[in-house]
Structure 1
């Protein structure tokens, strides 16, 4: 009973995700587009009410008002107004207890986060598509022979101008509503109007996606119960030897990854079971974006042709699980971790932010406040650039051009340092509040920040020495060429 009480919210959430997976084949079989859209939205709103109860007003009302902002303001300003309104409500939502309202649950918070992404995302898509056409960025996709000559599509190929009802259905459709993944309005619209979901082997993809979930859940339960998070704050932990305390966050982060893997995999399975996000592999599909090559050609594919092509669900693939565990650098780790969120932040914030020197900081700031206002998120996410400064230097000096055994040894060292840095930062992400973070980091003498600084200074010196040696070598070779 204590186990059920402790994990009540997680059990409810997993059950709702499994329910969403189970009903998706039936949802996919609905033939009428309008009925299918309404059924998806009604299921989505029902899930919000089950998860949130009274607090369901937050995601529902904010979603409706956000849709209103999109339609009330012109294409030129709708994305900006919608962005500030949705994030403004997110502030209010997270500080509800300061206004005499009950603080929403973590599960409601996840739904609100997805609603923000969808409403803001479609507003930016609408604005971006009109800008692309107005500025003449749309290229001709056929040469004189009638073949598609462009190797890679532009971001926007067609005007995106959904109706109020269509945005409503996109915002509240149950697929991906509980915990993602984020997909664009274009992907949502294609799901209803293109034949791919009818032709792909949804059952096979879903079974293949789900098979790792029992392992992830088992590992999470085992690790989190044997090595609990709260132990890191106890006097007993502080009295353990330094090496034990140094590696304890490795276990905490490992348990956290299994939890994320479980949720993301189940969420992706909802998409695969419904057929949403299925595209022919020839489109070179990318997470959240969909096809990156020949999209207009794919739209012309008949149902008979669609039956004879190979498909993937990369459009709704949030996590590269193997990449998360094995990638060498933090830069690569950031690319394979929660790719759907990375895509949204890159397209909505990084690419569209008007001041180039501040693009990275703007993207990091929005990513942090989207996750929440806890200091732990700032400690975890905002220190990544400082680690990357040092990592990039060592990568170029010792790994990039290395071969054989040297490459393997340097690669292992960089993997270890990347893993250790992420684990150290993850401790702050999990502890959340400043006082709890300070207790743990103080018990560790804040050592990893010192290590980062030493690595960076040493790396800068080694880079200067390397450049000096290279310039001398080039000078000698130039003199030899003149003599010859």
Structure 2
């Protein structure tokens, strides 16, 4: 009975059935959170863990039938065994990292197609980060507190988690399918009724959760309305190639903006589920209770920032924070931030998948951010450019900057979404590799502009620093 209904719904929405199943699964998190609030909040921890396990498995079964259900269970159980048998050792961390990443890579290899498919590897990549992070947090729990950063202290596990805790943490309905990332310590605090603005009582999180739901639903509506006009497949048509150069560039700009709402809507709606359950509680700041512990998007910043760095900082926040905490900062022994940054991007590239498009996207991101930081330093050090940035002409500068920002945000997303070499090369050729040419030219010109626009005294001081 459910299958024909889903087929009719997907036909009426013009979306593939797996996509409809996914968004329904994210929305089902709200009734699950209400069941937890109304009936299970004061129940023993064992009952709560079992509810989270059963609800997460039910969502998995709704989306991925048959043997696909086994993959997550296998990885969670193996991770639990590693914690128990290997203890708080470097070997345990490295073994966990290697096993979870190799399992994910094997999944990508055996299920890969040339299209974006919603299959078991999609939630599994979220689970992979959770389980690797769990190994790191367990390892940190054996260190002296003085050796840990504040972030590590917040996530460190001082005792060995139980099997039910690990499974409940892994299958929690608010983060199983699309994230966000959170630590087992946060999950333990949720079950212990510590994540609330009223100690020992239900959190007053209904209104904050509904705000995020409404915002996420608005983003979903925007995507549903405009995405049929900007399909990925249009890039590969003769019609696109026959359009004027300016049209092809503007299409990339608008397509990029619309396409990102696919991710934004899921993340914001899922955040609302976490807030409703209480996992989103983040303490008190300036006298107000905060509900942003699971925030994966800063939507206002995402829409208004003219900087590529600002967009990255506002997008997929929890995954970026996870990568910073468990990859970038733990590579401090390299003694070089650039090397740590490159290694982190390589990790994220592999984590996303095996297609060449991911490599091109993240390498382009690194190059763009490098050029942007050099340009920001130039504006800061140049009296003329600083004056312009604070003058009445800045609104005009902002419009131009925002246009370039949106255009070249869409540009690296082309290979990210088209995946394979033959497809993204065709699109980039049609726009004459304008993004590569623009940033390469900027990279080469910026040193000469610095010599011209920055006083010699300040240049020499910079070299000394």
TM range (shorter): 0.7 to 0.9
User: What is the CA RMSD across the aligned residues, in angstroms?
Assistant: 2.5
Q: CA deviation at 1:225?
A: 1.1
What are the Cα deviations for residues 323-356 of structure 1, in whole angstroms up to 9, with x where unaligned? Answer: 1111121112211110010011111111112424
Report the CA distance shift for 1:153/1:26 in structure 2 as closer, same or farther (over 3 A). Answer: same
Contact 1:62 1:86 in 2 (8 A): yes
2:452 equivalent in structure 1: 465
2:87 is paired with a residue whose SS is coil
Measured in 2, the distance between the counterparts of 1:410 and 1:38 equals: 56
Query: Which residue is equivalent to 1:27?
Result: 36
Alpha-carbon separation, structure 1, partners of 2:398 and 2:116: 44
Runs of 4+ in 1 over 6 A off after TM superposition: none
2:410 to 423, 431, 455: 423
Pairing of 1:359-370 with structure 2 (within 5 A): 359-370=340-351
Change over 3 Å in CA distance of 1:406–1:395 after alignment to 2: farther
Deviation by residue 1:13-43 (Cα, 9 ceiling, x = unmatched): 1111111112212213411222111111111
Q: Deviations over 1:148-178 (max 9, x none)?
A: xxxx946316653332322222122222111
Q: Is the 1:170–1:188 contact (alpha carbons within 8 Å) kept by the matching residues of 2?
A: yes
Contact 2:137 2:152 in 1 (8 A): no
Picking from 323, 331, 334, the partner of 1:355 is 334
Contact 1:58 1:93 (C-alpha < 8 Å) held by counterparts: no
Greater Cα shift, 62-71 or 362-371: 62-71
Structure 1's 440 and 159: CA in aligned 2 closer, same or farther, altered over 3 A? closer
Shift of 1:467: 4.1
Query: Mind listing any 5+ residue stretches in structure 2 that lack a counterpart?
Result: 1-7
Q: Pick from 162, 165, 171: which aligns with 1:164?
A: 162
Whole-angstrom distance in 1 between the partners of 2:143 and 2:399: 46
Q: Paired residue for 1:189?
A: 188
Cα displacement (A) at 1:128 = 2.1
Equivalent residues of 1:399, 1:411 under 8 A apart:
no
Give 1:317 shift.
0.4
SS at match of 2:147: coil
Where in structure 2 are the equivalents of 1:283-362 lying within 5 Å?
Answer: 310-353=288-331, 354-357=333-336, 358-362=339-343
Q: 1:214 to 1:279 in 2, by over 3 A?
A: closer
Q: What number of residue pairs does the alignment pair up? A: 431
Following the alignment from structure 2 to structure 1, what is the Cα–Cα distance between the partners of residues 228 and 53? 38
8 Å Cα contact 2:378-2:454 kept in structure 1: no
Q: CA deviation at 1:468?
A: 5.0
Per the alignment, do residues 57 and 203 of structure 1 end up closer, same or farther by CA in structure 2, a change over 3 Å counting?
Answer: same
Task: Write out per-residue CA displacement over residues 22-73 of structure 1, whole angstroms, 9 at most, x where no aligned residue.
Answer: 2212213411222111111111122112211121111221221122222221
SS in 2 for 1:175: coil
Residue matched to 2:354: 373
Contact 2:280 2:292 in 1 (8 A): yes
CA contact (8 A) 1:223 1:252 kept: no
Asked whether the equivalents of residues 200 and 311 of structure 1 are also in contact (C-alpha less than 8 Å), the reply is: no
1:258-277, aligned counterparts within 5 Å?
258-277=261-280
Listed as ranges, the gaps of 5+ residues in structure 1 are 139-151, 285-308, 475-484
Give the structure 1 partner of residue 80 of structure 2.
67
Aligned partner of 1:287 in structure 2 is none
Q: Which residue of structure 2 lines up, in the alignment, with residue 206 of structure 1?
A: 209
Deviates more, 1:271-280 or 1:176-185: 271-280
Contact residue 253 and residue 423 of structure 1 kept, 8 A = yes
Distance 2:110 2:116 in 1: 8
CA deviation profile, 1:256-276 (whole Å, cap 9, x unmatched): 122112101111111112111
2:102 aligned with 1:88: yes
